[in-house]
């Protein structure tokens, strides 16, 4: 087990190298001239400005040299400078990462809690109406375009009903809590600012629900299937024969086992949410990495796009590794082998 | 404790799961959308690109889903949207399956370093969140529906390469293939006779699910501004227009529902196919 | 049937009422291929402290009978009666039945490999069973009791084993854990469903010995479900032989072994290895067990029976006296004369 994990950690740099290489290749696919976005269409005819820009961004070198430079910078943690913000991409990303992580974690929580709940409900009422309804609700989540669902809930709960605040992490006139973790909910609590905490939670509800609903379907299907598997296991029958409450049989006995496969897909879920965050953030004007990626793509800000994509791949690798470890810890048969 | 095991074998023949219930509804729904995509020019209620009434009118008897900021009929545009989303998704899936089949088969048959290199390429490509990679590729190639399509093919082929390679390896380990090789069957023959027939169902199940995901991603890329551009009646682009006219809910309503219907239909059919054929989905 | 049952030791039952009384129990599964009549009118009593063996091939309905009276059979029509100390179990709501399961009537199962939850420790699983019936039991007390119980079923280093996971234990040890779990709430009846079938031969004897000891120490009534008459000899007072969902013969162990009144019982006995025989090949009963989906008219054993007569396929025989047992056979039981003739 330890050896396996050690190998997994050891190949991480290799995979990361692969990811960076693919992103580099992708970024050089372009027939479009990134200069457009640096100097603007009007200045393209001005050779002096163009030459200065090319030199500054290293666009004069041959592709292999560019690749070598890029890899060298990458190792140093230098993702280049954004064309649009004129700041190091890494700084931009680090500034925006907490917003995305906060949103994604809450969405993951919502998705897993509701997914497990619906899955248990569906499994316990197999082939009855509740089962069909639970699965349908879950499936809608996987079929909804998140950006559209975002507009929909904003229209209903913000514009029409006024129950929840509009886009953004906090109200436009509020000031963000002092930076500690970058998670507004956590920071406001650390500062003892209760009203700010309530505000940031309210702002999280809509985007996190829209985002989280997207994975409810995946979790529900998996939990339902594995619970049904567990229900047919001998130990469940034994637990019932021993007079355990049905709740204990389901929650303590069967669910423990049924959740193991769910743990294996947490990494996948996280990726799914990251995917969704790109669009959800855009709809909710959420100042995270997702909306940064969208702005960068719209403006053809290559260093920024590359930075985000590398970050995305990196996040994938990390979550997969965490998933493996979590699975091993959760299952005594693996943990103790 | 085998005494309680009751024979589960069903004696009466029932229609397969994918021709019943939600799946049947899904199939019909997809059929209708395909029909709309093909025939809409013949019976279009309005011009999808020209103003036909006042701007930003709510739903009415004449314009069921209202009009947009330029006075175009939203429902007409939504129906025309099928002419973009469906052909794009079909093209993406077919191309991804073709490329995936070729690369997967090559990796499986050639083995050795070719296999290693191709499969690491697959692993790494699949390590990206699909939308981020698609965004990066589309942005590099330049915004537009054609480049979005190319990007999606590049994102999707690894799924099928992995699937095909697994089939090839499974087939190669069978003894009857050894004898087929011994009597001089070519790889091409083995591929055609054994591997491809075995791959139909898993490819079909994955392709059905992926079809919905491609429709979704096409709309997403357009929504971001990397796919179809206005005035194209592409669903994602239309929702962007709806977002700018936030309080006129009907502008985004129809294209959103259209996407939901198509994706839901694919999920219904895909679920039923997967259950009928007991196929493992390749997740990414 | 109660007082005149042959083989019920009057010393044991004198002036006492049965603790478990099953009468005319029928279980019919509804399957897509039609009804499967798994149990067809089974009647027997279990008295306090007594050990009854139910013997039969797999599919004979012996497990279903016991599962049905604990309300653990789904998708089936159940009729007839089964009472525990006078209260009717058939049709009892699960919420009430739960207080009998594992508390008054406990059950152990065939396969100790799958009977325990792989992701919970032994101690935790035992505590869950205890706390299900003793809600006030503290975690600590439950653990202490669990260790005590493990000690009782002769598991060494009980305190350490308490924190083990099932996969760290051998099959025999797991079955001991199951037994410890079953007796943890001081039940009055222990149902042992093929408790040794999945175990090695040497371990089998140890487990049977343990069950015998516990039965004596705790004054437990036991229902031993088995397909192996060999296990029965030392472990049971009375035997009921089941075939195709019915009891075809019952009686005290001694007479039933010495002078079986049903051809099926004879067949089962012939299958046993004997000390006085040198050849290795054991007999087995020819043919396949009757299917609960399609029972033949008349005696369900007739197609496999070597004593078969024409009347056997006309109607189904009921239990009748055959010397010291009750037997459902036209040929051997009833008049008794035919039996003697064939025996000779």
d(CA A179, CA A156): 32
Look at residue B3 in the predicted model and tell me its pLDDT: 40
Q: Indicate yes or no: CB of A293 within 8 angstroms of CB of B223.
A: no
d(CA B248, CA B251): 6
- Closest-CA distance, C329 to chain A, in angstroms, reads 35
Res. C4: pLDDT tops 70: no
What would the pLDDT profile of A5-51 be if each residue is shown by its tens digit?
787 788 788 888 888 888 888 877 766 566 665 665 566 677 777 77
Mark residue C244 as left, alpha or beta (left: phi above 0; alpha: psi -120 to 50; beta: remaining): left
Mark residue C298 as left, alpha or beta (left: phi above 0; alpha: psi -120 to 50; beta: remaining): left
Res. C123: pLDDT tops 90: yes
d(CA C267, CA B68): 87
Distances (CA, A) of C165 to A220, C116, C140, C273: 28, 9, 19, 37
Three-state secondary structure call for residue C77: strand
Question: Which residues are within 8 A (CB) of A236 and not within 5 positions of it... i.e. 6 or more apart?
Answer: A230, A249, A253, A254
d(CA A268, CA A274): 10
What is the token pair recorded at C3?
């007082």
Three-state secondary structure call for residue B280: coil
Enumerate domains of chain B plus CATH numbers.
19-39+60-282 (1.10.3720.10)
Q: Indicate yes or no: CB of C72 within 8 angstroms of CB of A245.
A: no
Mutate to test the interface with A, among C118, C135, C186, C192 (most CBs of A within 10 A): C118
**Chain C residues whose beta carbon lies within 8 Å of the beta carbon of residue A245:** 98, 132
Order across the sheet with C20-31: list the strands.
C34-46, C20-31, C76-84, C87-88
| Placement of tokens 């205890």 in the chain | C130
ipTM above 0.90, yes or no: no
Q: Indicate yes or no: CB of C111 within 8 angstroms of CB of B7.
A: no
Distances (CA, A) of A39 to A35, A46, A293, A321: 6, 10, 20, 42
**Chain C residues whose beta carbon lies within 8 Å of the beta carbon of residue A241:** 70, 72, 101-102, 106-107, 109
Look at residue A57 in the predicted model and tell me its pLDDT: 65
For the CA atoms of chain B, what is the radius of gyration?
A: 23
Specify the pairing of strand C221-226 against strand C51-55. parallel
Q: Are C7 and C252 in contact (CB under 8 A)?
A: yes
Q: Indicate yes or no: CB of B1 within 8 angstroms of CB of C29.
A: no
What would the pLDDT profile of A128-177 be if each residue is shown by its tens digit?
899 999 988 888 888 888 899 999 999 999 988 989 998 888 888 888 88
Res. A115: pLDDT tops 90: yes
Look at residue A8 in the predicted model and tell me its pLDDT: 76
DSSP class of residue A155?
I
List the beta strands (DSSP E) in chain C.
20-31, 34-46, 51-55, 76-84, 87-88, 105-108, 189-193, 221-226, 238-243, 246-252, 320-322, 325-327
Q: Which residues pair with C214 in a beta bridge?
A: none
Average of pLDDT values for A169-189?
85
Res. C8: pLDDT tops 60: no
Question: Measured in whole angstroms, how far is the alpha carbon of residue A272 from the centre of its chain?
Answer: 6
d(CA B124, CA A324): 18
- Residues of A in CB contact (< 8 Å) with C are 233-235, 237-246, 248, 252-253, 256-257, 260, 330-333, 336
Look at residue A227 in the predicted model and tell me its pLDDT: 92
**Closest residue in B to A32 (Cα–Cα):** B142
- Percent of residues, chain C, with pLDDT higher than 70: 89
Highest mean pLDDT, choosing among A118-127, B63-72, C263-272:
A118-127
| Domain chopping of chain A, boundaries | 2-75, 89-336
Look at residue A39 in the predicted model and tell me its pLDDT: 60
Chains in contact with B, counting 3 or more C-beta pairs less than 8 Å apart as contact? A, C
Around Cβ A54, how many Cβ atoms within 10 Å? 16
Q: Are A93 and A79 in contact (CB under 8 A)?
A: yes
- Closest-CA distance, B64 to chain C, in angstroms, reads 48
Res. C275: pLDDT tops 70: no
d(CA B104, CA B82): 32
What is the token pair recorded at B39?
């025939």
**Chain C residues whose beta carbon lies within 8 Å of the beta carbon of residue B3:** 38, 58-64
**Closest residue in C to A231 (Cα–Cα):** C117
Q: Is the dihedral of CA C254, C260, C265, C269 positive or negative?
A: positive
Look at residue B173 in the predicted model and tell me its pLDDT: 75
Chains in contact with A, counting 3 or more C-beta pairs less than 8 Å apart as contact? B, C
Look at residue B1 in the predicted model and tell me its pLDDT: 37
Query: Where is pLDDT greater, at A157 or C202?
Result: A157
Mean pLDDT across chain A: 84
| Domain A89-336 -> CATH class | mainly alpha
CB pairs under 8 A between B and C: 39
Q: Indicate yes or no: CB of B12 within 8 angstroms of CB of C32.
A: yes
Q: Are C197 and C110 in contact (CB under 8 A)?
A: yes
Mutate to test the interface with C, among A227, A236, A242 (most CBs of C within 10 A): A242
Q: Indicate yes or no: CB of B3 within 8 angstroms of CB of C38.
A: yes
**Closest residue in A to C110 (Cα–Cα):** A234
d(CA B92, CA B212): 11
How does residue A251 score in pLDDT terms, banded at 50, 70 and 90? confident
Task: Supply the pTM of this predicted model.
Answer: 0.80
How does residue C163 score in pLDDT terms, banded at 50, 70 and 90? very high
State yes or no: cis peptide before A329, omega within 30 of 0: no
- Reported as half-sphere exposure (CB side, CA atoms, 13 A), residue B92 has a value of 32
d(CA A174, CA A184): 12
Res. C108: pLDDT tops 50: yes
**Lowest-confidence region among A214-218, B248-252, C30-34:** C30-34
- Closest-CA distance, C99 to chain A, in angstroms, reads 6
**Chain A residues whose beta carbon lies within 8 Å of the beta carbon of residue B225:** 294, 297-298
| Placement of tokens 């051809």 in the chain | C263
Res. C221: pLDDT tops 90: yes
d(CA B168, CA B162): 10
**Chain C residues whose beta carbon lies within 8 Å of the beta carbon of residue A329:** none
CB pairs under 8 A between A and C: 82
What would the pLDDT profile of A286-331 be if each residue is shown by its tens digit?
999 999 999 888 887 878 888 888 888 888 788 878 777 777 777 7
| Phi then psi dihedrals of residue C321, to 5 deg | -65, 135
- Closest-CA distance, C61 to chain B, in angstroms, reads 6
Mutate to test the interface with A, among B6, B132, B151 (most CBs of A within 10 A): B132
Highest mean pLDDT, choosing among A94-98, A310-314, A332-336:
A94-98
Q: What is the dihedral of CA A66, A72, A75, A81, to 10 degrees?
A: -50
- Percent of residues, chain A, with pLDDT higher than 70: 93
**Chain C residues whose beta carbon lies within 8 Å of the beta carbon of residue B1:** 63, 109-111, 193-194
Order across the sheet with C105-108: list the strands.
C105-108, C189-193, C221-226, C51-55, C238-243, C246-252, C325-327, C320-322
Q: Indicate yes or no: CB of B132 within 8 angstroms of CB of A154.
A: no
Average of pLDDT values for A254-283?
83
**Chain B residues whose beta carbon lies within 8 Å of the beta carbon of residue C31:** 6-8
Question: Which residues are within 8 A (CB) of C217 and not within 5 positions of it... i.e. 6 or more apart?
Answer: none
Q: Indicate yes or no: CB of C70 within 8 angstroms of CB of A248.
A: no
Q: Which residues pair with B36 in a beta bridge?
A: none
Look at residue A32 in the predicted model and tell me its pLDDT: 59
Low-confidence ranges of chain B (pLDDT < 70): 1-14, 175-178, 180-185, 278-284
- Nearest Cα neighbor of B138 from A304, A66, A31, A278 is A31
**Chain B residues whose beta carbon lies within 8 Å of the beta carbon of residue A152:** 252, 256
d(CA B99, CA B113): 19
**Closest residue in C to A333 (Cα–Cα):** C167
| Phi then psi dihedrals of residue C294, to 5 deg | -145, 85
Q: Indicate yes or no: CB of B4 within 8 angstroms of CB of C73.
A: yes
d(CA C124, CA C116): 11
Average of pLDDT values for A272-282?
85
Look at residue B282 in the predicted model and tell me its pLDDT: 53
List, as own/partner pairs, every contact residues A47-51 make where C-beta atoms lie below 8 angstroms and the sequence separation is at least 24, other chains included. none
B270 touches chain A (CB under 8 A): no
Query: Where is pLDDT greater, at A228 or B183?
Result: A228
How does residue C127 score in pLDDT terms, banded at 50, 70 and 90? very high
Question: Rounded to a whole number, what is the distance in angstroms from the first to the last CA of chain B?
Answer: 40
**Chain C residues whose beta carbon lies within 8 Å of the beta carbon of residue A244:** 98, 102, 128-129, 132
Question: Which residues are within 8 A (CB) of C280 and not within 5 positions of it... i.e. 6 or more apart?
Answer: none
Look at residue C6 in the predicted model and tell me its pLDDT: 54
Q: Indicate yes or no: CB of A243 within 8 angstroms of CB of C114.
A: no
User: Residues 114 to 133 of B: which have CB under 8 A from any A CB?
Assistant: 120, 123-125, 127-133
What is the token pair recorded at C290?
């009757």
B230 touches chain A (CB under 8 A): no
**Chain A residues whose beta carbon lies within 8 Å of the beta carbon of residue C109:** 234, 237-238, 241
Question: Rounded to a whole number, what is the distance in angstroms from the first to the last CA of chain A?
Answer: 7
Look at residue A66 in the predicted model and tell me its pLDDT: 79
A83-A87-A91 Cα angle (round to 5)? 125
d(CA B227, CA B142): 9
What is the token pair recorded at B125?
């490509």
- Closest-CA distance, C59 to chain A, in angstroms, reads 18
């Amino acid at each position: 087990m330890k050896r396996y994990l050690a190998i997994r950690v050891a190949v991480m740099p290799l995979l990361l190298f692969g990811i960076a290489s693919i992103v580099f290749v992708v970024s050089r696919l372009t027939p479009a001239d990134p200069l457009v976005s640096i100097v603007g269409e009007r200045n393209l005819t001005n050779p002096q400005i163009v030459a200065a820009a090319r030199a500054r961004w290293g666009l004069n070198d041959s592709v292999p040299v560019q690749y070598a430079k890029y890899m060298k910078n990458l190792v140093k943690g230098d993702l280049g400078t954004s064309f649009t913000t004129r700041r190091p991409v890494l700084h931009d990303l680090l500034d925006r990462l907490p917003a995305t992580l906060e949103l994604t974690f809450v969405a993951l929580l919502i998705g897993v809690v509701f997914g497990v709940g619906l899955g248990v409900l569906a499994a316990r009422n197999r082939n009855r109406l509740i089962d069909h309804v639970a699965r349908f609700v879950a499936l809608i989540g996987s079929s909804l375009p998140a950006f559209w669902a975002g507009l929909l809930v904003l229209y209903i709960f913000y514009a029409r009903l006024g129950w929840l605040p509009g886009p953004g992490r906090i109200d436009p006139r509020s000031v963000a809590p002092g930076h500690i973790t970058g998670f507004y909910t956590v920071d406001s609590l650390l500062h003892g600012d209760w009203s700010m905490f309530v505000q940031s939670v309210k702002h999280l509800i809509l985007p996190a629900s829209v985002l989280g609903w997207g994975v409810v379907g995946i979790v529900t299907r998996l939990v339902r299937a594995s619970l049904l598997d567990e229900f047919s296991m001998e130990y469940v029958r034994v637990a019932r024969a021993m007079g355990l409450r049905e709740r204990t049989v389901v929650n303590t006995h069967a669910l423990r086992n049924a959740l193991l496969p769910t743990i294996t897909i947490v990494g996948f879920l996280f990726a799914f949410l990251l995917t969704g965050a790109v669009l959800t953030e855009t709809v909710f004007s959420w100042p995270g990495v997702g909306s940064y990626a969208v702005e960068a793509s719209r403006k053809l800000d290559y260093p920024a796009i590359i930075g985000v994509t590398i970050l995305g791949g990196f996040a994938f690798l990390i979550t997969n590794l965490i998933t493996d470890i979590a699975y091993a810890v959760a299952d005594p048969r693996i943990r103790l082998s | 404790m085998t005494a309680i095991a009751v024979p589960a074998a069903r004696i009466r023949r029932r229609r397969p799961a994918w021709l019943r219930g939600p799946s049947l509804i899904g199939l019909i729904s997809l059929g209708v959308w395909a029909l709309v995509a093909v025939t809409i020019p013949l019976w279009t209620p309005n011009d999808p690109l020209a103003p036909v009434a006042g701007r930003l009118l709510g739903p009415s008897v004449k314009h069921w889903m209202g009009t947009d900021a330029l006075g175009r009929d939203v429902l007409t545009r939504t129906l025309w949207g099928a002419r973009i989303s469906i052909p794009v998704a079909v093209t993406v899936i077919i191309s991804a399956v073709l490329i995936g089949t070729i690369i997967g088969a090559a990796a499986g048959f050639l083995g050795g370093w070719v296999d290693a290199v191709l499969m690491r390429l697959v692993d790494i490509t699949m390590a990206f969140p699909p939308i981020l990679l698609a965004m990066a590729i589309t942005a590099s190639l330049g915004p537009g529906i054609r480049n979005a399509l190319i990007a999606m093919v590049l994102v999707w082929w690894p799924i099928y390469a992995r699937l095909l390679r697994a089939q090839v390896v499974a087939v190669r380990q069978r003894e009857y293939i050894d004898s087929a090789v011994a009597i001089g069957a070519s790889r091409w023959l083995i591929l055609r006779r054994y591997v491809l027939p075995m791959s139909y169902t898993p490819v079909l199940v994955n392709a059905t699910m992926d079809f919905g995901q491609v429709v979704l991603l096409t709309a997403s890329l357009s929504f971001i501004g990397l796919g179809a551009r206005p005035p194209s009646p592409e669903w994602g682009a239309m929702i962007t227009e709806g977002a700018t006219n936030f309080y006129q809910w009907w502008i985004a309503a129809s294209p959103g529902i259209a996407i939901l219907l198509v994706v839901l239909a694919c999920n219904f059919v895909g679920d039923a196919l997967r259950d009928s054929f007991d196929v493992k989905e390749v997740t990414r | 049937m109660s007082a005149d049952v042959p083989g019920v030791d009057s010393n044991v039952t004198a002036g006492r009422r049965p603790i478990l009384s099953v009468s005319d129990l029928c279980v019919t599964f509804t399957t897509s291929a039609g009804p499967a009549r798994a149990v067809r009118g089974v009647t027997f009593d279990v008295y306090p402290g007594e050990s009854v063996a139910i013997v039969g091939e797999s599919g004979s309905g012996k497990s279903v009978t016991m599962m049905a009276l604990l309300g653990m059979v789904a998708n089936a029509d159940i009729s007839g009666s089964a009472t525990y100390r006078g209260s009717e179990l058939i049709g009892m709501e699960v919420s009430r039945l739960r207080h009998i399961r594992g508390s008054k009537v406990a059950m152990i199962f065939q396969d100790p490999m799958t009977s325990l939850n792989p992701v919970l420790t032994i101690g935790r699983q035992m505590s869950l069973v205890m706390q299900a019936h003793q809600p006030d039991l503290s975690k600590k007390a439950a653990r202490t009791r669990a260790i005590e119980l493990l000690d009782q079923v002769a598991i060494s280093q009980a305190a350490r084993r308490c924190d083990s996971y099932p996969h760290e234990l051998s099959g025999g040890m797991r079955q001991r854990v199951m037994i410890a779990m079953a007796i943890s709430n001081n039940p009055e009846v222990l149902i042992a469903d093929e408790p040794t079938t999945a175990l090695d031969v040497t371990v089998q004897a140890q487990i049977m010995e343990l069950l015998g000891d516990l039965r004596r120490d705790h004054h437990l009534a036991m229902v031993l479900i088995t397909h192996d008459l060999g296990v029965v000899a030392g472990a049971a007072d009375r035997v009921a032989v089941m075939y195709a969902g019915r009891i075809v013969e019952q009686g005290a162990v001694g007479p039933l072994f010495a002078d079986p009144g049903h051809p099926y019982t004879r067949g089962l006995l012939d299958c046993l290895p004997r000390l006085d025989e040198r050849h290795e090949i054991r007999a087995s009963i020819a043919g396949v067990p009757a299917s609960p989906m399609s029972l033949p008219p008349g005696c369900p054993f007739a197609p496999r029976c070597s004593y078969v007569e024409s009347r056997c396929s006309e109607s189904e025989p009921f239990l009748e006296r055959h010397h010291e047992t009750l037997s459902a056979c036209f040929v051997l039981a009833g008049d008794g004369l035919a039996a003697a003739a064939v025996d000779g």
